[in-house]
Structure 1
Amino acid sequence: MKVAIVSTDGKVINQHFGKASRFFIFEVDSCGKIQFLEVRETIPLCGSADEGHADDVLSRIISLISDCEALLCSRIGSRPQEELRKHGIKPVEAPYFIDEALKSLSEVE
């Protein structure tokens, strides 16, 4: 399972979805093995007035992480949660260390 994570440092899930300027992409296999894949840069949803309508920015962000099954962030609003779910991405508020959150997520799956 691929997971997109909102983080400023790649260690802690410490950022609101709307403030994300990048997503750390991880793969968690069926045995719980965690592998870092890449960082994907984006324009943050909040404060994106210069980049077009917020709905357009949200669509671009969802497209950027559309191959992921889950998104982990410290906080997320109801509208982005709804849109992510429509695209098959499970939003999870998990303000923890990335490795802890990924292990917990793999245990649930």
Structure 2
Amino acid sequence: MSIKVAVASSDGKYINQHFGMASQFLIFELDDDGTHKFLELRENKPACSTEGHSELSMEESVKLISDCQAVLAGQIGPGAIDILLKNNIDPYIAPTFIEDALKELAGIIQTKKNN
């Protein structure tokens, strides 16, 4: 079984964006064995800025990735975590290389299934 994962990355290699400030999400299909493939890039209007954040924009960001079961970001605030969980999207903070984070996420998902 595979899942869709949204990744907050500006360079396609490293998870380097805060969820609320992400200008784009890379969408991957992740299989149980850790193999994955890139599906698409989705442009996003960041919900947060140096002046604060907008709940409406946060909802729009979540809606943009609503077909994903997980999101990987460099940081995720508590408000965003609440909104993601309410929309059945598991949030993971993983400021590391995309390849490594996807393999680790596959292991987490496999462990959850086995318990």
Does the pair score TM above 0.5?
Answer: yes
Determine the C-alpha separation between the residues in 2 that align with 1:24 and 1:16.
Answer: 14
- Structure 1 residue 48 displacement after superposition: 9.2
**2:7 counterpart letter in structure 1:** I
Could you say which residue in structure 1 is the equivalent of 2:12? Answer: 10
**2:34 counterpart letter in structure 1:** G
Determine the C-alpha separation between the residues in 2 that align with 1:48 and 1:89.
Answer: 26
Q: What pairs up with 1:17-56 in 2 under 5 angstroms? A: 17-47=19-49, 54-56=54-56
- Structure 1 residue 43 displacement after superposition: 0.5
Task: Using structure 2 for the length normalisation, give the TM-score.
Answer: 0.87
Number of residue-to-residue matches in the alignment: 106
Question: Matched residues, percent identical?
Answer: 47
Determine the C-alpha separation between the residues in 1 that align with 2:95 and 2:103.
Answer: 14
- Structure 1 residue 59 displacement after superposition: 1.1
Q: Which runs of 4+ in 1 moved over 6 A?
A: none
**1:76 counterpart letter in structure 2:** I
Asked if structure 2 preserves the Cα contact closer than 8 Å seen for 1:48 and 1:54, the reply is no
Asked if structure 2 preserves the Cα contact closer than 8 Å seen for 1:73 and 1:93, the reply is yes
Cα deviation code 1:41-75 (max 9, x no counterpart): 011011398xxx81111111111000001110011
Determine the C-alpha separation between the residues in 1 that align with 2:48 and 2:98.
Answer: 23
Could you say which residue in structure 2 is the equivalent of 1:102? Answer: 102
Could you say which residue in structure 1 is the equivalent of 2:60? Answer: 60
Which ranges in structure 2 are unaligned for 5 or more consecutive residues? 110-115
What SS does the corresponding residue of 1:72 show, helix, strand or coil? Answer: strand
What SS does the corresponding residue of 2:48 show, helix, strand or coil? Answer: coil
